Structure 1
Amino acid sequence: MNLTDYFLVAMPDMDDPFFAECVIYVCEHNEDGALGIIINKPSPISIDMIYAAGGRNIPLRMQHENVMMGGPVQIDRGYVVHTPAGDWQSSIRVGDDIALTSSRDIIDNLADTEKVGKALVSIGYSSWYKGQLEQELADNIWLTLPADEHILFDVPYEQRYAAAFAKLGFAPEDLLRGAGHA
């Protein structure tokens, strides 16, 4: 099983407050584990703050955009999920034309729509050690579905959880109705 370029959607009864109602874009999944970016949990940092701290002009298309809280690992470091994949100093190719880049050169080029068509900026990432994600799937912690670029880049972050469920064909509350204990 390889869930690279898939969404993990938290089950509605997720008991971990950090991951509750999260949609995670899986950027890498192999025999050693998995790495992903939460795409619907804003951090307290905005793109404006990142550019202001560097004394640079904010790209118009990124003004007032939220930086996502990509996960609890390396929250002091930035990551950009973007299209086209391009040629950057430190990237992981995820889909046909999507990459995850952690090098500063992409931040310097966010205003150039030919180099960076669409982008989601995050701090931190989520990761699973060997076999951990597979066990969480067996424990019904996550639902999976192929990633959708529209949800990833175009749907407002606060609507991405509902949009992922809609793509699955039901609403989160549908999983809770009639649930009981044996």
Structure 2
Amino acid sequence: MGMPAEDDDPITGRKAASPDFDTQHFKRTLSQFATGVTVITTRAAGHPYANGAPFVGITASSFNSVSLDPPLVLWSMANRANSLPMFRDGTHYIINVLCASQMDLCQRFASLKGDRFAGVDYRLSETGLPILANALAWFECHNRSRYDEGDHVIFVGEVERCGLQDCGGQPLVFQGGQFSTVSPLDR
């Protein structure tokens, strides 16, 4: 018995079946899962896409917890993103969890043009990275590991510091192609 091919399951030796759907159907189906919205920030100086700006930030909804001990979180970024080298090469980043009232920041950091930090209120973390004012929560992460998977890179961050901020308590949520927030259900 030979070694399994690179894309074979290491336990069973079998490949995954080809998908029976197209990309648009997959995206529509994924959109039914409600996710929180974050802005992830890091240092940009010295990279060609930074245009002289000291920081870069992106909007991401792929944030998730991984482990409590050690404290690990993950998020992912498309391989084609201009700012990928800055996140891949950096030692730290901040994950800012947005409040429902921060829709403007969500749209600003999702845009590909201009200085995304112009006029944005933030303070610097212990590693000198932007923590957005009035974000619901923030996580300062060491860039522990990166995994190339499909058309994205998965980042695993080891949380060194985190905090809560009072913005009214309602998170910005994305589901079904629309932004909303959450409300407790009656029991």
Does the pair score TM above 0.5? no
Greater fraction of residues in helix: 1
TM-score range, shorter chain: under 0.3
Q: Which is higher, the Rg of structure 1 or of structure 2?
A: 2
Q: TM-score, normalised by structure 1?
A: 0.27
